[in-house]
Amino acid sequence: MRLARHEFDPILFGSGSAEYVKARGGEAVEAQSSFGVQKLFATGARVGANLTLSWIEVLSGDASSGLSRILTVTASQPLLRGSDPNIVLENLTQAERDTLYQVRIFNRFRKTFVVATITQYYQVLQAYDAFRNSQNNYDTLQRVHELASKLAEAGRLPLYELDQARQDMLIASDDCLATKKLYEQALDDFKIVLGMPTESQFIIDAGELGTLRATKMTMPAFSETEAVETALAGRLDYANTADTINDAQRKIVVAF
């Protein structure tokens, strides 16, 4: 965008040269410098001014030294399509809109990243809660199996019930290992999203789920139509898509 906007700013330029001349009349050093400025307007008009300084110093001979100045002012104005501001400013207009699109894309990324990060954090909490429940279930069934073993040894419990208690404990152990693996995988994925090494220590707030469950859900004070309209008004990617349609329509007008 800066490059496109720079075309309509006053542009300064300058140059210089020096030359040693030796002829029959003598020797001389001729130096010349030029400075100027030009500006392009929205109507396509281009105005420029140029000041040239020429200085000659005679080293020998009959000629004399001197300084000359030449000021040149030029102006040009295209006709027909070249004088239409919509056509002249099209590149700048598109560059500004492209910059706006990139700002919207970045801001939408920030919003979606925050939502995705929070969502993934709660998924880690859910995985941890599932692991904790399966661990508690295994601990309970392990105590039941120990009690059943003592009762079976005392002849107060049939052996098939002891085998059933042992089988339930083994199933709970497998479930505990599976949920632990899922929790550790979810935690590692969350660390990667945050840019943290997977071997780093990470402590989650296990009480956050309890706080969330204790929060009372209330009905929103707006209708579904209002929610959709607000969502569409705040969707930056939707705004970009709508504006690209306007860009296409504008380019058709510029082309014809």
Burial class (CB in 10 A: 0-12, 13-18, 19+), 79: exposed
pLDDT recorded at residue 212: 81
Regarding whether 75 and 95 lie in a shared domain, the answer is no
pLDDT at 139 (0 to 100):
96
Report percent pLDDT > 70 for the chain.
92
- Predicted confidence at residue 232, as pLDDT, reads 85
Task: State the Cα torsion 191-196-202-205 to the nearest 10°.
Answer: -60
- Report pLDDT digits (tens) over 27-70: 766 788 888 999 999 888 999 999 888 876 555 454 455 667 88
Instruction: Quote the pTM value.
Output: 0.67
Q: Quick one: 131 exposed, middle or buried, by C-beta within 10 A (0-12, 13-18, 19+)?
A: buried
Rounded Cα gap, residues 247 and 95, in angstroms: 11
Polymer length of the chain: 256
Segment among 17-31, 91-105, 212-226 with least mean pLDDT? 17-31
Average pLDDT, the chain: 87
Asked if 162 contacts 149 with a C-beta cutoff of 8 angstroms, the reply is yes
**Which pLDDT score, from 0 to 100, does residue 58 have?**
52
Our count of domains for the chain comes to 2
- What's the mean pLDDT in 158-176? 93
Shared domain check, 118 and 55: no
Residue where a domain terminates, one of 83, 99, 123: 83
Rounded to an integer, the average pLDDT of 124-128 is 93
Q: In this predicted model, what pLDDT tens digit does every residue of 78-122 receive, in sequence order? A: 888 888 888 888 889 999 999 999 999 999 999 999 999 999 999
Which of 29, 53, 83 is a domain's end point? 83
Alpha carbon distances (Å) from 83 to 37, 42, 69, 98: 21, 8, 34, 24
Residue 218 pLDDT > 90: no
Give the range of the structural domain holding residue 234, as residue numbers without chain letter: 90-255
CA 17 to chain centre: 48
Distance, CA of 39 to CA of 41 (rounded, Å): 7
Same domain, 65 and 129: no
For residues 75 and 86, the answer to whether their CB atoms sit within 8 Å is no
Q: Note whether 162 and 213 are same-domain residues.
A: yes
CA distances from residue 14 to 32, 36, 76, 114 in whole angstroms, order as listed: 11, 6, 21, 52
Helices 207-214 and 90-153 cross at an angle (nearest 10°) of 100
Q: What is the mean pLDDT of residues 137-154?
A: 93
